């Protein structure tokens, strides 16, 4: 069963995805992490993505969708209990592409774990992280891009009965516990 860890930039998706995937034989797949690797290695994809990421905008849907399709066909992924998507999907077309891909592959989406965090807390967390795309201007742009392009996914998954809201404030242990509870309930 696959899961999507969802929420605005700075909500703790990456940290929680690391914690969850460890004990659960879930494959942690962060599209942002794969993009950063490509930037570091100077690949064609990395060269294309670098400036976009630094501005806080989104990499084009077709690029991301190809990346995800390639990942889902890897043996290492097929051998796990499920994939934990982190930072994907970020647009409605990405969510639609994922839905078709999962159906075609006979995979099941357990649900979308949506972490809710107050906006002041997000800016505070992001400005302490120190990543190349964590300057104040980029942070503001990324939050705006989230509101415009990614937040509509909440309605998309709510309509499908696949959205699970999880309080993203508190200690890392508390948040992890809440996420595990949702997963355990669905996995039965």
Nearer residue to ligand AMP within complex by CB, 71 or 180: 71
Per the annotation, the verdict on 90 as an active-site residue is yes
Shortest separation between residue 68's beta carbon and ligand AMP, angstroms: 8
| 101 lines the binding site for ligand AMP (CB under 6 A) | no
Is residue 4 a contact point for ligand AMP (CB under 6 A)?
no
Piece of 70-78, 84-92, 102-110, 119-127 that binds ligand AMP (CB under 6 A): 84-92
| Sole binder of ligand AMP in the list 7, 8, 12, 32 (CB under 6 A) | 32
Query: Which residue in 78, 131, 140, 158 is the catalytic one?
Result: 131
What is the Cα–Cα distance from 114 to 165, expressed in whole angstroms?
5
Contact residues for ligand AMP, defined by CB under 6 A: 9, 30-32, 35, 52-53, 56-59, 64, 87-88, 90, 94, 133, 142
């Amino acid at each position: 069963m696959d899961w999507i860890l969802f929420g605005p930039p700075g909500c703790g998706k990456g940290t929680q995805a690391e914690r969850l995937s460890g004990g659960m034989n879930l494959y942690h797949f962060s599209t942002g992490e794969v993009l950063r690797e490509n930037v570091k290695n100077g690949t064609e994809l990395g060269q294309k993505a670098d400036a976009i990421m630094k501005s806080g905008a989104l990499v084009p849907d077709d690029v991301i969708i190809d990346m995800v399709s390639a990942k889902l066909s890897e043996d290492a992924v097929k051998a796990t209990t499920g994939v934990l998507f982190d930072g994907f999907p970020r647009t409605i077309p990405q969510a639609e592409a994922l839905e078709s891909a999962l159906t075609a592959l006979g995979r099941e989406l357990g649900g979308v774990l949506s972490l809710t965090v107050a906006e002041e807390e997000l800016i505070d967390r992001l400005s302490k992280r120190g990543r190349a795309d964590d300057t104040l201007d980029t942070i503001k742009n990324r939050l705006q891009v989230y509101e415009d392009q990614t937040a509509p996914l909440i309605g998309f998954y709510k309509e499908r009965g696949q959205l699970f809201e999880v309080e993203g404030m508190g200690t890392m242990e508390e948040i992890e516990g809440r996420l595990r509870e949702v997963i355990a309930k669905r996995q039965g």
